[in-house]
Structure 1
């Protein structure tokens, strides 16, 4: 099964020159979604992963499925202002400005082994913020896993420079 064939590409979205990689088409296909989740967690089978942290929003879908497969807990990493309890935050740069990711202050315990999950890695800013946020909470980030890598944008190198290995199932040239 070629998982790449289940990813819809939408040209010029959200702006001219961008090739948007829509993973919702893969998630909507039962066998492709199952296979993708199985392949994402396979390198971690038999390891003690305490929790999976999913980055809002598609990372919630993948992260929940991965947590289930690994018999691990789930931690939502949310955009600023979305969590109801005391939270800690980590800012990151966007193309035009700054945003923040947050998690509940008690979402992770010191020493817990965590996988960070998102649908796609491009420049790596959001994933980097998620990793730093988890580390602020005392967690050990074992790896960051993604369905899609856009290698020309350098995100994987940014994450690996933090000492966090990455796993991506597919690579798409261009952005």
Structure 2
């Protein structure tokens, strides 16, 4: 039984060339893919010697899960020290609503969560406190085995805490300015 995974490249590049390069890297039979197609595509985009290539700019990275759900990821472009991009466009200021970004140098998701558990108890409800506690170990270090859903939920909780802190700071400023 052939246990290979189907591979397809869509875009302006000669897809046969990309498929052949992918086969050279992983073999033709029993293809088990990880991030090889993304690495190959990023290398092609970065290669400015390919004058005939129609692909340029930050890649758009998405994932379709077995359930049919889809997720689009951001990417730091053109390197891990680059600016965040989402769906091929640079992110500006408050637009930064993407939960996860890829590092184009390693093709790994970047951890944008605090490594140590923050002191946010006064801003959260009991169920949120329990969830945050589950995300950190007994030394208050971020657990490395959090799944995508858990990371996204923790990110959203921390975003809500930051907004609450902002509102508190605004109220203090308004009260200070209102005093004669």
TM range (shorter): under 0.3
Higher helix share: 2
Query: Which one has the largest radius of gyration?
Result: 2
Higher strand share: 1
Greater relative contact order (Cα < 8 A, sep 6+) = 1
